[in-house]
A = this chain, B = another copy of it.
Amino acid sequence: MTNTQVTLVQIDNYGPWTTTPRPRRETDLQTLQSRLYADLSQFVGVRDGYVFFTRFDNMVAVTNGLTRADHERIQETIRNRYPVTVSLSAATAASPADALVEATELLQDAGSAQDGDRTEILRGEFLSPGRQRPDDVQIAHFDVVDATGTYTDELDAFATFRRIEQGYAALMAHLHERHGGLAFFVGGDNVIAVCPTMAETDYAAVVSHVRDTTDIDLRVGVGRGRTASEAGMDAKQALETGRELDTRVECAFPAVGECATD
């Protein structure tokens, strides 16, 4: 059964900072945000975690394998290199959504996101690396079937963007409400979802739901592992297999169909 450690990353008092003493130049803010995200992505990535940019001032990370000390060092390196600081809170649950609910509550208990005195909070429990198991994290990597031929090369860029966003919105809502999974757009026509233990038939139902409600044809590869990186790389490989076989759902683990049984 999955046991996903989720970390909420929140830039401290960011909104007020962006307009003090007067609104800061938008392109500088965009650069700041995207580089901060890139740095977190590398830092967490070399420890086999994933970070999703989400709203940029609030990011969600899958951090199985990262200790409290790792989280402290994230705070240190941001403080040393950026004009802003970050608060972090972590929680672990079978359901990624539940873990994030708990992590969010821990941070909200420490004060408002726009409280100038609430900085560099670090809350939560961290999985002991020794207790990691090979099915702690389940990652589903979705993309749109022939997105380039169907959309990018055919529609105008904004229409394509809207179509992808519509499919993503339906997927995000369905996975969250029905399964407690957290889906994030990661660029192009790709969505990566951190899922609880789900069966292949569950994924098939998700793909059907999105096609029925938005007419977007998705494909998904699913992997699992001790860490987001392990699970995510297997998911990508499974997605490649799905492309080759022109199937809609491919699970990387044991045997197709068995994914529900663990």
A interface residue numbers (CB < 8 A to B): 8, 14-15, 18-19, 22-35, 37-39, 41-46, 50-51, 53-58, 60, 73, 76-77, 79-83, 97, 100-101, 103-105, 108, 112-114, 147-149, 152-158, 160-162, 164-166, 169, 172-173, 176, 182, 186-189, 192, 229, 232-233, 236-237, 239-240
Our pick among B27, B44, B108 for the contact of A42 (Cβ within 8 Å) is: B27
Complex interface: chain B residues within 8 A of A187 (CB): 29-30, 33, 55-57
* Interface-central residue, A46, A57, A149, A165, by most chain B CB under 10 Å: A46
Complex interface: chain B residues within 8 A of A157 (CB): 8, 54, 58, 60, 100, 103-104
Complex interface: chain B residues within 8 A of A73 (CB): 46
Our pick among B15, B172, B188, B233 for the contact of A55 (Cβ within 8 Å) is: B188
Distance in angstroms between the alpha carbons of A138 and B187 in the assembled complex: 27
Are A161 and B55 in contact, with the CB atoms below 8 A?
yes
Are B28 and A45 in contact, with the CB atoms below 8 A?
yes
Distance in angstroms between the alpha carbons of A244 and B29 in the assembled complex: 22
* Interface-central residue, A27, A104, A148, by most chain B CB under 10 Å: A27
What's the nearest-Cβ distance from chain B to residue A105, in Å? 7
Our pick among B31, B148, B161 for the contact of A114 (Cβ within 8 Å) is: B148
Closest B residue to A37 by beta carbon equals B34
Distance in angstroms between the alpha carbons of A34 and B33 in the assembled complex: 9
Complex interface: chain B residues within 8 A of A240 (CB): 19, 22-23
Given A55-B188, A237-B22, does the pair A83, B77 have CB atoms closer than 8 Å?
Answer: no
What's the nearest-Cβ distance from chain B to residue A178, in Å? 14
Our pick among B27, B57, B160 for the contact of A50 (Cβ within 8 Å) is: B27
Closest B residue to A172 by beta carbon equals B162
Task: Show 14 residue pairs from A and B whose CB-CB distance is below 8 angstroms, ordered by the A residue.
Answer: A15-B148, A22-B240, A26-B45, A26-B186, A26-B192, A28-B80, A31-B45, A33-B187, A35-B35, A46-B46, A46-B73, A58-B188, A81-B82, A108-B154
Our pick among B27, B104, B108 for the contact of A45 (Cβ within 8 Å) is: B27
